[in-house]
Structure 1
């Protein structure tokens, strides 16, 4: 297959959807740990009862079942909202369909969350707003029995046969206990590169404000282990699939060239996933047949298959700012937040996109973070470990964060929907120089029991 055909297919899938002007809408995905309040494994029978009750209450349609017949995905066809289980039945995800108003999205989220909380409470279970399931080591960490997750966790478990550019961590099941708060925002091709590169420079600040994933056994990654879990897994075997772009993208052509260097590791044939050694897009389409393996019901079996241009739909990347096939940019770097702060991630991003030129200028002239020999990627790494470099003045850093939040506030005010209330928790964090992970660690050191912390991070009001 020639390079022009691959490039055109990438353009059609990722760039073309951004070329039509439309009202800027927002979609939100919130992954939340399910916990047994007696510190026992999550009872999956309770989860399945919840799914049935939720479908009946909100008249949602079943879109997917696992191999055992259990419902794993429900969707409201009117709003595009869905309830699903991410990787395992230990994590519940609420996805909110596109809207232009954060209050509308929040109202739907709160309605769903309250119903779920009441149901789970009667079975001594709860959702909570933490980026890592606090009882992960007690849960049954097995993937949902379907093609997608069987493929994914087989792939992640292959790390022992490869050499990572940095190192591999041993938590190949991290998808079953790691939870994020992600937002997708419509964008136009004229602002695409500017959004990606400006928000990449903002990533260290986001680590300071939104970190909320703690694993005590990973002391070197104190407050946001999510980055490490993704980047030092098989997903990071090709660094171009994860994290930062690490290069200047001066044009759409540069971005398309970059995409051709991202790796593919799976496709489907006749409803069955095939895994293969990760290979860059350009190489995948440059040869003839490839060799992969699939689950035949009892074991993995080798098979030969022929690449097709339609296979681009299986290109899976996990950039911190990820361009999607929906004509949106997906911001992926924020941990699940305490539930009462569930709209902070979306409010922060949509407010700043509205003031993109001012944000770009503010970061360009910054000398609090930048100009000391460390780029955004290096700074985010140290901040995720809870480390403050000696060259940073904490008072000046606080002023910088407040200036960024002020820009977000102006952007939300410009939208005229009175959404600035959703930024208030971030102002509090900036004033105190803290984030949910730091508060969590302080509470633990003060002797606050885990069940009390779970309840605190689960509060909605």
Structure 2
């Protein structure tokens, strides 16, 4: 999750809120790719999750990256809770999941190099202290009670609030991991088309990247338990956003939605002030109970936007949020899939043609079915595997048209990053299917073997 936002002055009008989003518009030549991925750390001897502090800990990992790889520390209340370097940052999820939020880069070649270097650095430090990291959508064995709590103020507030809304908020916070990609838009119209395609095809990403079929040591009945968890959270800040497909969608319409999402906090002087359930509209009027008489800054608005969790969302860029964390190879496939769909106009138009006839009920049904059945999902006459194959064809064509070479020009474009997904389409199996086969076959129900065989 996000670190505190900064750099925004006082808000004096509603137009500034939409203007903040619109200020992210960039010409095509300035479009970049930002890849984020989370992973679970564990002690190799006990297979228990990493605590925050100690010889084998999240703190030891952060200190190793800081001292050995040139990262600058980020502190909160004296605790090391993140790192930053060259436009990227390393941050902590509530249960100690270690996240790389990559720098904005021009090509999948570059973002994959960044991911690979990060994982090599993490493994180098982890091996020294007897720690491992694994990419899965949900913790396969650990209970909620086993999970550590990271020393970040926003997480304490969110944990307290999650029991009031939905049923799986704390599961999401402490026992899930994702991979996502952040992409740019050129204009309001471009944002709207990309937003609609992103939401409509997010279930395809959920299906292709489904990698969380276990919970507390046994199969949970889902291919993506993480995606199922997100269906049982705070309805006010999650979901498929039907309004995005309505006439009049634009930056101002998204602001209207965001203003009605209940607040979590206000960040002041290094501390998170409890504003749980309060209204940003009241804050605009100087009537926020948490800070009577104060009005917000654009930094407060930026912070508030990080507490909204739909399947795709916008800030000054767009985030694709539907995929489970996964193996090394798929951390590059996710940005390739979405860049192919979004960054070539012909591909974007084709993707919109693919989904524009669906209604809100169909989009939601695909979301639900993808979590349960992965590529085997069926909604009406829509077969998920066939839909994913068509989306992948469009993405491949988009990457070819982009023609971004790699390896000093030896690789003509970025299409090879889709190979992992092409394998899934051909076999009909996603990572969750492979894991279930192992569990029911050679592992003989011993899920502890997942750590040795699937860690980075």
User: Same fold judged by TM-score > 0.5?
Assistant: yes
CA contact (8 A) 1:31 1:91 kept: yes
User: How do residues 60-459 of structure 1 correspond to structure 2 at under 5 angstroms?
Assistant: 60-62=71-73, 64-67=74-77, 69-76=78-85, 79-88=86-95, 90-137=96-143, 140-156=146-162, 159=163, 162=164, 164=165, 167-169=166-168, 172=170, 174-189=172-187, 190-216=189-215, 222-233=222-233, 236-238=234-236, 241-247=237-243, 248-251=245-248, 252=250, 253-286=252-285, 288-292=286-290, 304=292, 306-310=294-298, 311-315=300-304, 316-324=307-315, 327-353=316-342, 354=344, 355-364=347-356, 374-386=361-373, 397-417=384-404, 418-448=413-443, 449-459=446-456
- Asked if residue 33 in structure 1 is aligned to residue 25 in structure 2, the reply is no
CA contact (8 A) 2:138 2:212 kept: yes
Tell me which residue corresponds to 1:58.
69
Structure 2 CA distance for aligned equivalents of residues 269 and 108 of structure 1 = 33
- SS state at 2:264 partner: strand
Q: Tell me the TM-score normalized by structure 1.
A: 0.82
**Distance 1:308-1:336 versus aligned 2 partners, 3 A rule:** same
- Cα shift at 1:440: 1.6
Structure 2 CA distance for aligned equivalents of residues 26 and 412 of structure 1 = 13
Structure 1 CA distance for aligned equivalents of residues 418 and 34 of structure 2 = 18
**Distance 1:266-1:22 versus aligned 2 partners, 3 A rule:** farther
RMSD: 2.9
Q: Tell me the TM-score normalized by structure 2.
A: 0.83
- Asked if residue 13 in structure 1 is aligned to residue 20 in structure 2, the reply is yes
Structure 1 CA distance for aligned equivalents of residues 196 and 173 of structure 2 = 27
**Distance 1:445-1:222 versus aligned 2 partners, 3 A rule:** same
Structure 2 CA distance for aligned equivalents of residues 274 and 431 of structure 1 = 51
CA contact (8 A) 1:128 1:455 kept: no
349-358 or 16-25: which moved more? 16-25
Structure 2 CA distance for aligned equivalents of residues 453 and 219 of structure 1 = 13
**Distance 1:424-1:20 versus aligned 2 partners, 3 A rule:** closer
Structure 1 CA distance for aligned equivalents of residues 297 and 89 of structure 2 = 30
Tell me which residue corresponds to 2:3.
none
Which consecutive unaligned segments of at least 5 residues does structure 2 have? Answer: 1-10, 405-412
Structure 2 CA distance for aligned equivalents of residues 19 and 11 of structure 1 = 16
Structure 2 CA distance for aligned equivalents of residues 331 and 430 of structure 1 = 21
Question: How many residue pairs get matched?
Answer: 420
Structure 1 CA distance for aligned equivalents of residues 297 and 90 of structure 2 = 31
CA contact (8 A) 2:266 2:274 kept: yes
Deviations 1:247-293 (A, max 9, x none): 2343324333333333323213343322234245435535x53334x
Structure 1 CA distance for aligned equivalents of residues 138 and 209 of structure 2 = 13
- Cα shift at 1:350: 0.2
**Distance 1:341-1:283 versus aligned 2 partners, 3 A rule:** same
Structure 1 CA distance for aligned equivalents of residues 293 and 224 of structure 2 = 40
**Distance 1:397-1:268 versus aligned 2 partners, 3 A rule:** closer
**Distance 1:111-1:305 versus aligned 2 partners, 3 A rule:** same
CA contact (8 A) 1:320 1:333 kept: yes
- Cα shift at 1:103: 1.3
**Distance 1:345-1:74 versus aligned 2 partners, 3 A rule:** same
Structure 2 CA distance for aligned equivalents of residues 39 and 16 of structure 1 = 46
